[in-house]
């Protein structure tokens, strides 16, 4: 089973979700290690949240680990959805199990 950009568990993915950031999280492969959360540059930009000194955790992060699995909390905060889009593969490149996958956008 995979997790869509909105965090919902479903398969197959509608093309509109693939086009948003092009990121698919394969839940069956995810071990919940949290490496994707740590390496995400957008997550690291909010030091108050990272160090537990305030902020609303779920409102500030792109990725988080919930119930032992990686979740895309807010796809609109992912660099790949910016205007203009930025190329980023940090979560994909650092995932030890290959659970993060970038798919064609279009």
pLDDT single digits (tens) 34-68: 899 888 888 766 666 556 555 555 556 888 888 99
CA distance 24 to 3: 7
CA distance 24 to 100: 6
Beta bridge partners of 64: 71
Please give the average per-residue pLDDT across 15-43, as a whole number.
79
Six-digit token pair at 34? 């949290």
Greater pLDDT, 84 or 64: 64
Q: What is the pTM of this model?
A: 0.67
CA distance 58 to 95: 21
Range of 7-11, 21-25, 31-35, 63-67 with top mean pLDDT = 31-35
The model's confidence at residue 29, banded by pLDDT at 50, 70 and 90, is very high
- The pLDDT of residue 96 is 97
- The pLDDT of residue 91 is 92
pLDDT single digits (tens) 68-77: 999 888 888 8
3-state secondary structure of 15: helix
**DSSP secondary-structure letter at 4?**
-
Sorted by where each begins, the domain ranges of the chain are 2-102
- Topology of the domain covering 2-102: Alpha-Beta Plaits (3.30.70)
Q: Provide the percentage of residues in the chain whose pLDDT is more than 90.
A: 19
- Residues 7, 85 contacting (CB under 8 angstroms): no
CA distance 73 to 57: 10
CA distance 70 to 21: 16
């Amino acid at each position: 089973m995979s997790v869509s950009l909105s965090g919902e568990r479903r398969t197959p993915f509608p093309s509109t979700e693939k086009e948003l950031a092009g990121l698919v999280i394969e839940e069956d492969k995810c071990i919940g290690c949290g490496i994707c959360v740590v390496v995400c540059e957008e997550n690291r930009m909010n030091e108050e949240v990272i160090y537990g000194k305030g902020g609303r955790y779920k409102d500030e992060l792109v990725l988080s680990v919930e119930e032992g699995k990686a979740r895309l909390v807010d796809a609109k905060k992912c660099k790949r959805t910016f205007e203009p889009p930025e190329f980023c593969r940090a979560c994909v490149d650092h995932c030890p199990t290959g659970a993060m996958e970038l798919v064609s956008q279009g």
